[in-house]
């Protein structure tokens, strides 16, 4: 049997038991010992089959404690809306010029926002942005005439979520440097957002299992009842 790395043998805590959200956060933080500020990630198993159109789960949640990430935003807009996006802090703003850059391989951004009139242009980047989950969508507020607010939301803690093929939602909900309380608030905000996004086709138990981990650390189960799910 191969020898395990020291960081794994140093992990502590019961990974089989279901913990309260507060206890799980404490355990995850105790095991986040990398030399960088690890991201705290949540995974939620949902009682849906994403192969069916009426069981899709997608949305956006504004995490009250923020994400701890420096989100780089690209905005497709013209004239006054372009100026609005720039004033709100967007790193890259443009129309045809931005399209040409991205089509040429430029990907130095984490979120793409567009005004509705720009979607005919942005749609031509579907094969580039779609697989990366970056295509603007009105359902998550990234296709909007209010680009200034959308940029502020993206930089202030807005997190998009989308169920994967296996019925799981993954999301970053903060950093290991956050206080336990700040992380707990973000966990509960995400669970509430998922409950609001419950599709009409979902039957039975919707939120089945919840786990929490850090970038380099082990995962711990959360007792679903402890977060009101």
Domains of the chain: 14-67+158-227 (3.30.190.20), 73-155 (3.40.50.790)
In this predicted structure, what is the pLDDT of residue 85?
Answer: 97
In this predicted structure, what is the pLDDT of residue 108?
Answer: 95
Q: What is the mean pLDDT of each run of 10 residues along the chain (229 residues)?
A: 59 87 96 93 95 91 90 96 97 97 96 97 96 91 95 89 93 95 96 93 92 94 84
Which among 199, 218, 219, 215 has a CA at the least distance from the CA of 207? 199
In this predicted structure, what is the pLDDT of residue 176?
Answer: 96
In this predicted structure, what is the pLDDT of residue 65?
Answer: 92
pTM over 0.85: no
Cα–Cα distances in angstroms (integers) from residue 109 to residues 5, 73, 181, in the given order: 34, 6, 30
Using alpha carbons only, how large is the chain's radius of gyration in Å? Answer: 19
Evaluate whether 214 touches 38 at the Cβ level (below 8 Å): yes
In this predicted structure, what is the pLDDT of residue 10?
Answer: 65
By three-state DSSP, how is residue 41 classified?
strand
CA 201/CA 163 separation, integer angstroms: 14
**What is the b/e burial string over 48-78, where b = at least 16 CB atoms within 10 angstroms of the residue's CB?**
bbbeeeebbbebbbebebbbbeebebbbbbe
In this predicted structure, what is the pLDDT of residue 227?
Answer: 82
What's phi and psi for 164, nearest 5 deg? -90, 175
In this predicted structure, what is the pLDDT of residue 2?
Answer: 52
In this predicted structure, what is the pLDDT of residue 9?
Answer: 62
In this predicted structure, what is the pLDDT of residue 156?
Answer: 86
In this predicted structure, what is the pLDDT of residue 6?
Answer: 61
């Amino acid at each position: 049997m191969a020898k395990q790395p020291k960081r794994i043998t140093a992990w502590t805590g019961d990974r089989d038991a279901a913990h309260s959200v507060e206890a799980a956060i404490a355990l995850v933080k105790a095991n986040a010992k990398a030399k960088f500020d690890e991201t705290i990630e949540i995974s939620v198993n949902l009682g849906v089959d994403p192969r069916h159109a009426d069981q899709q789960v997608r949305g956006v949640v504004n995490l009250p404690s923020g994400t701890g990430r420096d989100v780089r935003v690209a905005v497709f807009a013209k004239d006054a809306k372009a100026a609005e996006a720039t004033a709100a802090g967007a790193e890259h703003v443009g129309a045809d010029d931005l399209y040409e850059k991205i089509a040429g391989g430029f990907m130095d951004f984490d979120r793409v926002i567009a005004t509705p009139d720009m979607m005919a242009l942005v749609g031509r980047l579907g094969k580039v942005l779609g697989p990366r989950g970056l295509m603007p969508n009105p359902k998550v507020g990234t296709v909007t005439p209010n680009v200034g607010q959308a940029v502020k939301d993206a930089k202030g803690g807005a997190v998009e979520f989308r169920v994967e093929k296996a019925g799981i939602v993954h999301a970053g909900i903060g950093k290991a440097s956050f206080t336990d309380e700040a992380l707990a608030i973000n966990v509960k905000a995400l669970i509430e957002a998922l409950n609001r996004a419950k599709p009409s086709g979902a039957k039975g138990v919707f939120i089945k299992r919840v786990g929490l981990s850090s970038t380099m650390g082990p995962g711990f189960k959360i007792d679903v009842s402890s977060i009101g799910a």
